[in-house]
């Protein structure tokens, strides 16, 4: 460093407090670290092929560097080079009066040569930061350069170029302006991290902020022993950026596909089963399929139902894997019991299948700065259904029956009557099943529960009962047809769910207790009291009305509430 530079350092020492907009002050005793366990864990989790990166390093080799433990700085660069792989291309230069020819190549290939390349002692008499930055930019803007780049500059002094340098002390001259334009264009095309390490407070390392956009530059002030730590931060940020770039590319290219083996079903059938495939094209990111939404188009016949069978809860799809299921549908329609002439009824419907998915490792993606990312589902297959029911008697059959005479007509009458009787039997069977059963015991909330299991509901042979409060403040059961001035607190009913009009044994019976208006209904579950307007009863349920009366419902044909909740939604039938 020249005497002129030393004088200028003293004049400027008071004004230099912040370097490059962001200064990292390294505490004494900081240890070098070239990769954190967190970043390594992320890499092991995703196992992606990292993209290429460029690393340019400029080392000030002016003689004044001897005052800042040049040997420690030199060794830190040697150690850093050992962490590079064939994914990183390194260009290393030393500078002073001029800039050396580069040591350049794949990191793992040139790392053994770094110690021999770096001078054992600094020897330059000047410090030309402008020319050094130019050489680094030429490397980073070359054809075939990587999308992720890092520049690390180490210096101990001011920009003191030799005579004849195009980069003077006036940072506003045209040469500096041209360098600035090239740097800004470079940062617009690539992801560039620029680190300036100033050995001591009196340096011109802030010139990097004049050349590169401020948001790309990070200034570091410290001693020679801190250079290794700073290089560790470079390695860490570079690795995380490479990893994030690889994941972002996969996010853009991958998707979760839903595909039906056929897109249409038609014919005189009452049910269909179409194989459905959910496939992930992500190469490294596992996904969770929460559900497959089945959307019925507005113009569809309501007599046709459709659902995806046997989809596991929180289905996990490994990268590149698929799940095979079935889209199953049923036509619930009864043809007319009698129709003269052949006819058919069409039931069209369309169903859209949309997988609802999320990434299994969302927390890790957030750690990489990738927020609110969801798997892409670009296609939602649509199944077009056109089911038909054929019914009626052909005209030639009618003519044949007419020729047979009154006897055949009588047979027809009997057949019709039998069919009606059959429907009546189905209706009666469903009515018989739609009756309350079990036992109901009531008592006042402030009293002990009485012995016994209570009133036998089967004795009422009724589908519906109402619970009233008598003048003695006691609960009573009565038919809705009974006229009484007693206030109605709740209604108990048997409801036949999912029954078909052609099958007396179809569907299942739920016993439902519904609170009357302005009445408060609670039930006990898992040791807690929960509130509900209406409740499907389970065996041994304990309920409370208006905090004044309690009810116990016993029906050993049902499961207990604890068993139902443990079964996680399994259906149960009576």
DSSP string, 501-555: TTBTT-SEEEEEEEEPTT--EEEEETTEEEE-SEEE--BTEEEEETTTEEEEEE-
Taking CA atoms, 123 is separated from 64, 168, 188, 262, 264, in Å, by 9, 21, 36, 77, 81
DSSP state of 62: B
- Alpha-carbon distance of 156 to 356, in angstroms, equals 57
CA proximity to 295, closest of 379, 356, 351: 351
What is the predicted pLDDT for the residue at 322? Answer: 94
pLDDT at 398: 59
Q: Which parts of the chain register pLDDT below 50? A: 1-35, 570-574
Q: What angle do CA 220, 225, 231 make, to 5 degrees?
A: 55
Concatenate the DSSP letters of all residues of 21-85 into one string: T-EEEPPTTPPP-SS-HHHHHHHHHH---PPPEEEEEEEE-BGGGGGG-HHHHHHHHHHHHHT--
- Whether the Cβ atoms of residue 209 and residue 5 lie closer than 8 Å to each other: no
Q: For residues 251, 254, 258 and 264, what is the CA-based torsion angle, rounded to 10 degrees?
A: 120
- Inter-residue contact 457 to 441 (CB < 8 Å): no
CB atoms within 10 A of CB 515: 22
Task: Give the per-residue pLDDT at 190.
Answer: 94
Query: In 10 A of CB 327, how many CB atoms?
Result: 24
Q: Which two tokens stand for residue 21?
A: 């907009």
The per-residue pLDDT for 133 is 96
Tell me what pLDDT residue 43 has.
60
- 490 close to 545: Cβ distance less than 8 angstroms: yes
> Which residues, other chains included, contact 399 with Cβ-Cβ below 8 Å and sequence gap of 6+?
none
Query: Can you give the pLDDT at residue 57?
Result: 97
DSSP-derived 3-state class of residue 336? coil
Coil, strand or helix at 80: helix
The candidate with the shortest Cα–Cα distance to 367, out of 14, 12, 36, is 36
Both structure tokens of 168? 């003077």
- φ and ψ at 462, to 5 degrees? -130, 145
What pLDDT does 360 receive? Answer: 86
Backbone φ and ψ of 414, nearest 5°? -65, -35
Q: What are phi and psi of 244, to 5 degrees?
A: -65, -40
Cα distance between residue 261 and residue 383, in whole Å: 10
- Domains defined along the chain, listed by start: 3-28+52-251 (3.40.50.410), 256-391 (2.60.40), 395-427 (no CATH), 439-566 (2.60.200)
pLDDT (0 to 100) of residue 527: 82
Which candidate, 528, 534, 519, places its Cα nearest to that of 565?
528
Q: What does the radius of gyration of the chain's CA atoms come to, in whole angstroms?
A: 41
| Residue written as token pair 């940062």 | 187
Half-sphere exposure of 165 (CA within 13 A, CB side): 26
Kindly list the distances between the CA atom of residue 240 and the CA atoms of 7, 37, 369, 494, in Å, as whole numbers in the listed order.
43, 12, 10, 62
CB 536, CB 574: distance < 8 Å: no
Task: Look at residue 348 and give its three-state secondary structure.
Answer: strand
Listed residue (541, 502, 512) closest to 434, CA to CA = 512
Angle between helices 395-404 and 406-433 in degrees, nearest 10: 120
β-strands 521-525, 541-545 pairing = antiparallel
Write down the pLDDT at residue 4.
Answer: 41
Instruction: Give per-residue pLDDT as tens, 242-267.
Output: 888 888 888 888 889 999 999 999 98
Do 219 and 199 contact (CB within 8 A), yes or no?
Answer: no
Indicate the burial class of 56 (C-beta count within 10 angstroms; 0-12, 13-18, 19 or more). buried
Contact yes or no for 226/40 (Cβ under 8 A): no
């Amino acid at each position: 460093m020249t005497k002129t530079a030393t004088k200028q350092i003293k004049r400027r020492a008071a004004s230099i407090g912040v370097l490059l907009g962001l200064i990292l002050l390294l505490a004494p005793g900081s240890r070098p670290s070239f990769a954190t366990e967190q970043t390594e864990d992320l890499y092991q989790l995703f196992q992606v092929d990292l993209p290429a990166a460029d690393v340019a390093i400029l080392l000030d080799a002016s003689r004044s560097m001897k005052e800042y433990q040049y040997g420690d700085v030199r060794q830190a660069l040697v150690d850093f080079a050992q962490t590079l792989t064939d994914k990183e291309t390194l260009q290393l230069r030393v500078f002073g009066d001029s800039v050396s020819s580069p040591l350049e190549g794949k990191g793992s290939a040139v790392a053994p040569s770094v110690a021999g390349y770096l001078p054992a002692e600094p020897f330059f008499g000047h410090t030309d930061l402008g020319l050094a930055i130019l050489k680094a930019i030429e490397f980073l803007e070359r054809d075939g350069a990587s999308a992720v780049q890092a520049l690390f500059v180490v210096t101990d002094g001011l920009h003191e170029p030799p005579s004849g340098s195009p980069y003077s002390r006036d940072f506003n001259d045209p040469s500096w302006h041209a360098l600035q334009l090239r740097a800004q264009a470079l940062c617009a095309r690539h992801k560039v991290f620029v680190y300036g390490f100033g050995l001591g407070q009196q340096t011109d390392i802030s010139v990097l902020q004049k050349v590169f956009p401020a948001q790309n530059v990070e200034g570091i002030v410290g001693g020679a022993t801190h250079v290794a730590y700073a290089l560790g931060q470079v390695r860490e940020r570079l690795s995380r950026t490479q990893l994030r770039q690889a994941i972002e590319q996969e996010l853009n290219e991958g998707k979760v596909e839903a595909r039906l083996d056929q897109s249409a079903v038609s014919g005189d059938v009452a049910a269909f089963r179409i194989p459905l495939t959910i496939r992930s094209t992500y190469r490294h990111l596992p996904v969770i399929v929460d559900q497959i939404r089945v959307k019925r188009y507005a113009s569809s016949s309501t007599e046709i139902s459709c659902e995806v069978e046997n989809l596991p809860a929180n289905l996990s799809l490994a990268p590149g894997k698929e799940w095979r299921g079935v889209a199953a549908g049923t036509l619930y329609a009864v043809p007319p019991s009698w129709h003269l002439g052949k006819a058919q009824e069409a039931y069209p419907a369309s169903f859209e299948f949309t997988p609802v998915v999320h990434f299994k490792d969302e927390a890790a993606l957030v750690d990489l700065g990738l927020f609110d990312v969801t798997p892409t589902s670009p296609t939602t297959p649509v199944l077009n259904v056109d089911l038909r029911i054929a019914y009626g008697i052909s005209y030639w059959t009618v003519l044949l029956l007419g020729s047979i005479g009154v006897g055949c007509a009588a047979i027809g009458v009997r057949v019709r009557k039998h069919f009606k009787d059959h429907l009546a039997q189905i209706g009666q069977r469903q009515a018989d099943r739609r009756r309350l059963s079990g036992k109901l015991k009531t008592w006042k909330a402030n009293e002990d529960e009485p012995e016994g299991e209570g009133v036998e509901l089967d004795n009422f042979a009724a589908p519906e009962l109402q619970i009233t409060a008598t003048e003695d403040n006691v609960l009573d059961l009565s038919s809705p047809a009974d006229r009484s001035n007693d206030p109605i607190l709740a209604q108990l009913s048997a409801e036949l769910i999912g029954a078909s009009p052609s099958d007396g044994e179809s569907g299942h019976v739920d016993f439902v207790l519904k609170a009357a208006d302005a009445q408060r209904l609670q039930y006990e579950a898992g040791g807690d009291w929960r509130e509900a307007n209406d409740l499907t009863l389970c065996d041994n349920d304990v309920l409370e009305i208006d905090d004044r009366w309690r009810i116990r419902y016993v029906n050993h044909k049902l499961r207990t509430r604890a068993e139902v909740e443990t079964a996680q939604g399994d259906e149960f039938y009576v």
